[in-house]
Amino acid sequence: MIGLHLSERVLQEAAEPTAQLPAAEAAHLHGCRLCQGRVATYQQLTTAVANLPPPAFAFDLAAAVLAQLPRPKPAFPWVLVLAAAPVLGVVATFLVLFGGVLAQAFQGLFTLLGAGLVAVASLLVAGQGLELLVQHRRQLRLLTFS
Ligand SMILES: [Zn+2]
């Protein structure tokens, strides 16, 4: 209670259908016409707000929000991993069985193969880096809401 009458918070609580006020506040409310009138006003206000129609927009709010959300990432390609595992197993088995023979056959070509491998790996890393940069710019463009 504030002063002689119930506080606004208590009046709002009393306006709820399931309100259970402490004994002193309930006794005051029972005997005070001013507080009863305020509670009735809060009840009318609550009923009026509950009966308002839901807000309607001139545009499709859900579509506008969904358009701003980032697209979900594609799932990890487990099928490719399952397909690549047996292939790698065959290659590893082949190298274990015939590695010595291959090393003798390609003795002079190892430096050339290594240089080619480094060149291909560099191209792959550069391509991945460019793809990441393009993706990052696209995501930053999606974040601007104008
Ligand atoms: Zn009162």
- 119 is written with which tokens? 């060149």
Q: Ligand 1 mean position to 41 CA, how many Å?
A: 14
Global confidence as pTM = 0.39
Q: Ligand 1 mean position to 58 CA, how many Å?
A: 45
Q: Ligand 1 mean position to 43 CA, how many Å?
A: 16
pLDDT at residue number 129: 94
Q: Ligand 1 mean position to 40 CA, how many Å?
A: 13
- 11 is written with which tokens? 């009046």
How many residues are there in the chain?
Answer: 146
Q: Nearest Cα to 13, choosing from 42, 44, 34?
A: 42
The pLDDT tens digits of the residues spanning 91-135 come to 999 999 988 887 777 776 767 778 889 999 999 999 999 999 999
Q: Ligand 1 mean position to 100 CA, how many Å?
A: 100
- 127 is written with which tokens? 């391509």
Q: Ligand 1 mean position to 50 CA, how many Å?
A: 26
The pLDDT tens digits of the residues spanning 35-55 come to 999 999 999 999 999 999 887
Please, what is the average pLDDT of the chain?
A: 87
- Residue 91 forms beta bridges with which residues? none
The pLDDT tens digits of the residues spanning 54-68 come to 878 888 888 888 888
